[in-house]
Chains A and B, each alone.
Chain A
């Protein structure tokens, strides 16, 4: 089995402002993200030979991408893989380029969620079907915060943290993410928040409070992908793909008593194969920057351990030591993450790559970290016990 390492490069990226984009339609966001990427790569829309559209619920088929951009008669595929949708669009585009069936591919993720009138994700029958497979119509009343909060309860219990101790560690993650988000003009939430504010916020799903949960945003992001040997024809500083991995769980954690709800097996597995593909032996030391799926604060905490940045049960020590801060040894979610940059489902994977790409090119502005060489993006679709995970690694 061959590796994708150093076969494909990203030569252009674009990203809209994320947030409650009341005054922007899906078309507006697709056009803005795509044209920023075209300009960044120095190409024309007509140069795109194939495209992958990542959207969770904002449009069906490749036509959702062809119509706004007037992409004419090229192959376009809609990709959906829950929250890993955008990253899977990158993966598919990269594989096509690596296979030699096209030289320039577009991967674009978009989500228009704020037209629906609700502050959460619509609790659709489709989602229930995905979650309950055999018992489609006899559902629980769980929400996403409810699911992830159960991971916090189990984690606190296993490692002997009182709710106060556990919530404090989680709050420190969000202090960091809010600080980072305040430094990005395209982030949904751009204000600093104090530890006290976070700890005193209303409970959404015990033990998680308001600031432990990411919001729902509109947004779009795009990437132009080409072969490694063509990349420097477009720009001097392309970003090279080192690993593209997806791990999809069979929902074992909902049914098997072996799963204890303090980790996400799929993240661990995807990380392991991605490190192998990229030739990484010690991720804690070798990864320069990571954009991970902090849909909830506890998710980010557990990801530190699942991706082997921290050892099991020790994430709290690293959080308290500032290991993941902007000036730490392994900055995580330098753009504010899902929590502050926002989470338009299908666009999130591409937004993470946008930040890593800019950081590797030294264009991180006030968030720029020192001499990054390897960046990782991670998405978690579904819930603990039943997840779809992507881990992508890129480098310069």
Chain B
């Protein structure tokens, strides 16, 4: 039976208190805080983070397919899943696809992965969902939206939760949308969105799947639903006869916010972290229709230890102010640094350096065993020529050898912390440090690697790796 073999979520380190927004514009804050992608993050980098959390000991080379879902891809034309596969070190003879266009892109990708495995075209499919949507300043969406991602490996065996059933409805409606010319999310009048959109379609889908599989509300230990906000989640739960306090997975609105296509998948990760064998979970996404799944947790769940749980990520954070948020999202233009404009990266050099740059591969000398980054032709230690094996640094931890907080660098967010890192298993890298509290940086502190956007120039996004204090 097809099921979930592994899962991992990613909650950005930075948070913005809703009262900060309210303070700037006036009006009610709504309470709590939202998770905010750093200035060097986007849907792709958050996807890599969730993917790394999800791989959690699974050999990346064993993955047969990668489906990436988001409504906020960095490129309109150019596959983001291919970029993810390179960063996550997946094989090249696999099926990769981007799923987009709807807030249920994530559940659609999960559904497609299940179908592919059932049809026998793949054994192990990785699904990653990531979103970074922007609401109009001083609008409800701005307060509601958060950023984040989730990843699952679906497989025909070793499942910690099996998929007992699935069901979906398609529904053409302009309730919440973004045209190809929009930066900010649009929506129709609240009452229409609520009555004829979310409440109607989600409850129909859930009622239908229960009917189809001959179950009722009492058969479920947990229900995990996409919801634009906690009020609507309670409303739909009550309408369907679920106990909001006991059965309904919390929407994380107070700590993360509505992460769009990634919300239901992230909530499923949070639910699975607390699940017990034999638990039954009802999982549903919404957007231009709805998809629902019935999951049954197996005893395998006891063997599974999440790699950086949602709980841990919720408790490790840094508050930012609203001014930073506006700057990071390029909502207000600011005076550019007094530096020459960034030149466009060479597509040729990016292509040639794909394994080293995206996969963070260096080499290890077969003669003297010295790990080195970037890849060399002549060993830095023993000077042997071409006696190397590829060596990946992305998943290795290290220690901070030295650093500086640089206020002069041309970047969106100063200071840039520049760092020298020695890996615990050998090798050194010089890179930027991100997701940090400058006052707490100390020589010798443990760090790990994270995939980030290092520049955008000439319509090309340039991604590389940075170090980050270990998030425990």
Q: How far apart are A150's CB and chain B's nearest CB, in angstroms? A: 4
Chain B residue at smallest Cβ distance from A146: B406
* Interface members, chain A 139-183 (any B CB < 8 Å): 139-143, 145-147, 149-154, 157
With known contacts A145-B408, A153-B443, A206-B405, A122–B340 Cβ distance under 8 A: yes
Confirm or deny: B407 has a beta carbon within 8 angstroms of a beta carbon on chain A: yes
A149 touches B404 (CB 8 A): yes
B376 touches A134 (CB 8 A): yes
Confirm or deny: A371 has a beta carbon within 8 angstroms of a beta carbon on chain B: no
Chain B residue at smallest Cβ distance from A143: B408
> What 0/1 pattern do residues 439 to 472 of B give for CB contact below 8 A with A?
0000100000000001100000011100000000
Chain A residues, Cβ within 8 Å of B372: 255-256
Q: Which size class do A's interface residues fall under?
A: 35 or more
A123 touches B428 (CB 8 A): no
B403 touches A120 (CB 8 A): no
From B374, B376, B431, residue with most partner A Cβ within 10 Å? B374
* Interface members, chain A 100-125 (any B CB < 8 Å): 116-120, 122-125
Confirm or deny: B418 has a beta carbon within 8 angstroms of a beta carbon on chain A: yes
Chain A residues, Cβ within 8 Å of B407: 202-206
Chain B residues, Cβ within 8 Å of A151: 402
Confirm or deny: A138 has a beta carbon within 8 angstroms of a beta carbon on chain B: yes
Interface stretch of the complex, out of B103-111, B244-252, B348-356: B348-356
A141 touches B356 (CB 8 A): no
With known contacts A138-B357, A260-B401, A154–B443 Cβ distance under 8 A: yes
Chain B residue at smallest Cβ distance from A259: B428
> Among B357, B401, B426, B428, which residue has its beta carbon within 8 angstroms of that of A135?
B357
Q: How far apart are A339's CB and chain B's nearest CB, in angstroms? A: 16
A157 touches B443 (CB 8 A): yes
Q: How far apart are A188's CB and chain B's nearest CB, in angstroms? A: 19
Interface stretch of the complex, out of B58-66, B78-86, B128-136, B409-417: B409-417
Give the CA-CA distance A305 to B229 in the complex, in Å. 63
Chain B residues, Cβ within 8 Å of A208: 404
Chain B residues, Cβ within 8 Å of A119: 338
With known contacts A140-B418, A142-B409, A153-B443, A257–B427 Cβ distance under 8 A: yes
A150 touches B418 (CB 8 A): yes
> Among A205, A207, A252, which residue has its beta carbon within 8 angstroms of that of B380?
A252
> Among A134, A142, A260, which residue has its beta carbon within 8 angstroms of that of B406?
A142
B353 touches A141 (CB 8 A): no
* Interface members, chain A 226-244 (any B CB < 8 Å): none
With known contacts A138-B353, A257-B422, A257-B428, A157–B340 Cβ distance under 8 A: no
Chain A residues, Cβ within 8 Å of B438: 206
Give the CA-CA distance A136 to B347 in the complex, in Å. 12
B422 touches A150 (CB 8 A): no
Give the CA-CA distance A122 to B341 in the complex, in Å. 9
> Among B349, B403, B416, which residue has its beta carbon within 8 angstroms of that of A141?
B416
Confirm or deny: B41 has a beta carbon within 8 angstroms of a beta carbon on chain A: no
Give the CA-CA distance A13 to B462 in the complex, in Å. 48
A118 touches B338 (CB 8 A): yes
* Interface members, chain B 343-388 (any A CB < 8 Å): 343, 345-346, 349-350, 353, 356-357, 370, 372-376, 380-381
> Among A134, A142, A154, A254, which residue has its beta carbon within 8 angstroms of that of B375?
A134
Give the CA-CA distance A49 to B343 in the complex, in Å. 41
With known contacts A141-B410, A250-B380, A205–B405 Cβ distance under 8 A: yes
Chain B residues, Cβ within 8 Å of A149: 404-406, 418
Chain A residue at smallest Cβ distance from B466: A140
A134 touches B374 (CB 8 A): yes
B353 touches A137 (CB 8 A): yes
Chain B residues, Cβ within 8 Å of A263: none
Confirm or deny: B430 has a beta carbon within 8 angstroms of a beta carbon on chain A: yes
Give the CA-CA distance A234 to B150 in the complex, in Å. 79
B338 touches A150 (CB 8 A): no
Chain A residue at smallest Cβ distance from B349: A137
Confirm or deny: A285 has a beta carbon within 8 angstroms of a beta carbon on chain B: no
Confirm or deny: B339 has a beta carbon within 8 angstroms of a beta carbon on chain A: yes
Q: How far apart are A290's CB and chain B's nearest CB, in angstroms? A: 26
With known contacts A118-B339, A135-B356, A255-B373, A140–B404 Cβ distance under 8 A: no
Q: How far apart are B426's CB and chain A's nearest CB, in angstroms? A: 7
A254 touches B401 (CB 8 A): no
Chain B residues, Cβ within 8 Å of A202: 407
Chain B residue at smallest Cβ distance from A254: B430
> What 0/1 pattern do residues 229 to 273 of B give for CB contact below 8 A with A?
000000000000000000000000000000000000000000000
Give the CA-CA distance A116 to B155 in the complex, in Å. 58
B454 touches A139 (CB 8 A): yes
Give the CA-CA distance A203 to B455 in the complex, in Å. 25
> Among B339, B376, B404, B455, which residue has its beta carbon within 8 angstroms of that of A150?
B404
Chain A residue at smallest Cβ distance from B464: A138
Chain B residues, Cβ within 8 Å of A206: 404-407, 415, 438
Chain A residues, Cβ within 8 Å of B161: none
- 26 pairs, CB–CB < 8 Å, chain A vs chain B: A124-B343, A132-B374, A133-B374, A134-B374, A134-B375, A135-B353, A136-B353, A138-B345, A138-B357, A141-B416, A141-B432, A142-B416, A142-B432, A143-B409, A146-B416, A147-B418, A150-B418, A153-B403, A203-B415, A205-B415, A206-B415, A250-B380, A254-B430, A256-B372, A256-B381, A257-B422
Which residues of B are interface residues toward A (Cβ below 8 A)?
Answer: 338-340, 343, 345-346, 349-350, 353, 356-357, 370, 372-376, 380-381, 401-411, 415-416, 418-420, 422, 426-428, 430-432, 438, 443, 454-455, 462-464
Task: Beyond the given A124-B340, A149-B418, please list 4 additional residue pairs across the A-B interface where CB-CB is below 8 A.
Answer: A137-B346, A139-B454, A143-B408, A204-B406
- The 6 A-B residue pairs with the shortest CB-CB distance in the complex, in nearest-first order: A149-B404, A146-B406, A134-B374, A154-B402, A206-B405, A138-B464
